[in-house]
């Protein structure tokens, strides 16, 4: 089945993949699914640090 959010074929929980559920947690709480705070990246705002974390999850950045 496909995730209701990203439309990728993944293992689902209540219709959503783990990556999307974690991305929601990062956006709302600033923490991953293991309750680890998303680090502030030097030169980026808090929001941009969260965005970079999420983009890395979806393999959309070249930064590692």
Non-local (6+) Cβ contacts of 43 within 8 A are none
Domain ranges of the chain: 12-57
3-state secondary structure of 9: strand
pTM of the model: 0.79
Tens digit of each residue's pLDDT (9 = 90 or more) over 36-60: 999 999 999 999 999 999 998 888 7
Residue 64 scores a pLDDT above 70: no
């Amino acid at each position: 089945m496909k995730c209701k959010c990203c439309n990728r074929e993944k293992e689902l929980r209540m219709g959503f993949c783990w990556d999307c559920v974690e991305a929601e947690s990062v956006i709302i709480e600033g923490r991953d699914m293991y309750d680890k705070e998303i680090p502030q990246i030097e030169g980026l705002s808090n929001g941009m640090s969260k965005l970079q974390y999420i983009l890395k999850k979806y393999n959309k950045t070249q930064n590692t």
